[in-house]
Amino acid sequence: MHSGAEKTLIKMENINKIYKGVQPVHALKDINLTIRKGEFLTIVGPSGSGKSTMMHVLGLLDTPTSGKLHYIGQETSKWNEKQKAEFRNKEIGFIFQAHLLLPEFTALENVLMPYYISRKTNSKMKDRAKEILMLVGLSDKLYSKPPQLSGGQNQRVAIARALMNNPSVVFADEPTGALDQQTSADIYNLFRKINSEENMTFIIVTHERNLAQKADRIIEIVDGKIIRDEIMSSYN
């Protein structure tokens, strides 16, 4: 097991999420889950099962209707929106299927975009961005723009952007859904490399069973409930 993996990073206690409407949707039902530092896990389930809702709640993008969510021992329900945003920016990285890159900017500029927005860019940050782009295998594409890159390369830029802050946890929502099989495998192996070398927690939401089976731990959700929480035999 990774060093430090015993340290609890995230804890969900009796989490419920209900979307109000003419017909209320009970998206998460009494979820209890503990995630440790350095884990590599996947969340699987059919469409509409609640897996994306779970990622949004875990990533502080959505607020549970009831229950408690703890991050590094702190209860997040007591945080205001500003505190949540600051925590997200510092501790959480997000990677989405639609990589959400800005086409008119270079790979380097896209990785630095959060800093351009907050006007905190400096030479040290540029060096860090170049290092990460090298880590994801794009040292020769620093000044290429998204239209000049392949789908897999653009996803690597999005990964580099998520890693820029050296977050405690990275959430990846269907990160290989738009990629071919070989590129998907390459991206997965890259996640593995970063997880191993940086002891960074990865939580991957996917419907791809073959990808999910390679994780150290699989969480399966059906109808808003966890029906399976399995440590895979390869985990050591």
The tens digit of pLDDT for each residue in 105-124 reads 999 999 998 777 666 767 88
pLDDT at residue 188, as a whole number: 86
CA–CA dist 162, 80 (Å, integer): 23
Kindly list the averaged pLDDT for each block of 10 residues, start to end, along the chain of length 236.
65 96 93 95 91 93 95 91 89 84 94 77 86 91 96 90 90 82 84 90 87 89 95 64
CATH class of 8-231: alpha beta
pLDDT at residue 118, as a whole number: 65
Residue 69 token pair: 């969510």
pLDDT at residue 140, as a whole number: 96
Alpha helices in 42-180 (DSSP H): 51-58, 81-91, 107-118, 123-135, 151-163
DSSP lists the bridge partners of residue 170 as 93, 202
Angle (CA) 28-171-132 rounded to 5° is: 175
DSSP lists the bridge partners of residue 66 as 16
pLDDT at residue 2, as a whole number: 43
Nearest CA among 192, 202, 217, 211 for reference residue 170: 202
Strand pairing class (201-205; 169-173)? parallel
Please state the pTM of the whole predicted model.
Answer: 0.87
